Amino acid sequence: MISLEYELILSAILFAIGMFGILRRKNAIVVLMSVEIVLNAAIMNFVAFSSYAHANGASGQVFALFAIAVAAAEAAIGLAMFIVFYRRFKTIDIDKGSMLRW
């Protein structure tokens, strides 16, 4: 069984990679993937704390399933927004977002 510290370290590394991708990238698809990495780090924390806090409880796993469903909906909506953005501006560079005012 993996100790809680290792799971939290892995989650922190995933969170840091995701935040780096969000803050440094200009490609909208890469930013969306980085947001998904951050969400997966949070989900990993829920599952890790749930497995160590309650031996028979599954509350962290249930919350993780809901978070995965929300992440899937967020990805679908984000991709739809990027498609509309690309059709209008012919680029997915998020610096062009200031031109969204009609």
Chain segment 4-17, per-residue pLDDT in tens:
899 999 999 999 99
Q: Which of 22, 13, 70 is closest to 44 using CA atoms? A: 13
53 has a pLDDT exceeding 80 = no
- Assigned token pair, 83: 């498609």
All domains of the chain, ordered by start, with CATH? 26-93 (1.10.287.3510)
- Between the CA of residue 11 and those of 6, 49, 86, 102, what are the distances in Å? 9, 12, 33, 41
Distances in Å between the Cα of 98 and the Cα atoms of 36, 82, 93, 102 are 24, 14, 11, 10
- pLDDT tens for 82-99 read 888 888 888 888 777 666
